[in-house]
Amino acid sequence: VTGVHVDGKVIACDAVVVALGPWSVLAEDWFEGIQVPMVGTQGTSAVYAHPPSSVTPGPLFCAEDAQGRHLEVFSRPNGEVYCVGGAGDQKIFVPGQLRALPPKEVLEDDEDLSAVVGYFEALSPLAKREGPDRTQ
């Protein structure tokens, strides 16, 4: 890589980061010879907002619980606690499926959201009685 075309201009560089989440597989069409070996999972997330510096940033990966729920928790420096997971088996996508998945069709799943919130409430006092501040 020597540069990238942006708005009709070439910006010189020796590396490129493609940060499109699961749609990063589309970069295979843009760069000759590149392969993006990616498998994606889909879950619903809940975000709990807390004051900055009130939580220690870091990840927590939880085992499946007795109700079959799975959960990953990421606390952030800005105080947010991001929880993602779901109920039952994870929805797994291979590159061909990711290519065909329009972002606007990736929607919250009510059952998964209930599983994420329920698991986090059972796990941590950081879960708020009134529920998450936002979901996605």
For 15-65, write each residue's pLDDT tens digit: 988 888 888 888 888 888 888 888 887 888 999 999 998 999 999 999 888
Instruction: Express as a percent the part of the chain with pLDDT over 70.
Output: 99
Q: Check residue 46 and give its pLDDT.
A: 94
State the pTM of this model: 0.73
User: How many other CB atoms are found less than 10 A from the CB of residue 66?
Assistant: 5
Plot region of 127 (φ>0 → left; ψ -120 to 50 → alpha; else → beta): beta
Coarse DSSP helix, strand, coil percentages of the chain, rounded to the nearest 5 percent:
25, 30, 50
